[in-house]
Structure 1
Amino acid sequence: MTYLIDAWLDRPHPYLRILHRDTGEVCAVLGEDALDELRDQGDLDLHGLSSSEPVVLKELVRNLFLFCYARALRPMGELH
């Protein structure tokens, strides 16, 4: 599968989406609070987002999916 990263980080309410390249289906969404958490952890790689190297982008998408899954498994009161 091939994915696209749709990131709007320089807006008042930033977000990042991972889209399936062939269908346009939204596979994951990271809102402002999730992006803040990634930044706080030092795990938001802005250079990776602007990279054109497939290996870098593949690793970035993988890490973003893992973050989303880990966040979804947390108990409701434990978002940070």
Structure 2
Amino acid sequence: VRFRDYLIASIGMLPGTLLFVYSGQVAGDVAVLATGAGVERGTGYYLVLALGLLATATVTVWVTRIARNALRQETGSRE
């Protein structure tokens, strides 16, 4: 898989991913508001958000490399 194709496909997956993230965040905020508490977004919130983004990017690259190597072995290609 060429990098250009991979990049385009990855960008194409972003809207769905953002929808799931937003839905989860809204559900969490609704649950907190239902208890009568306010929604706090301090340093910890943004730290966890950044770590989650970093973990997602890392795993995506890792799985892509594994899949690319598996495809190369199956097809015998050295592209």
Q: Do both share a fold (TM > 0.5)?
A: no
Going by fraction, where is helix more abundant, 1 or 2? Answer: 2
Going by fraction, where is strand more abundant, 1 or 2? Answer: 1
TM-score, L = length of structure 2: 0.39
Structure of greater Rg: 2
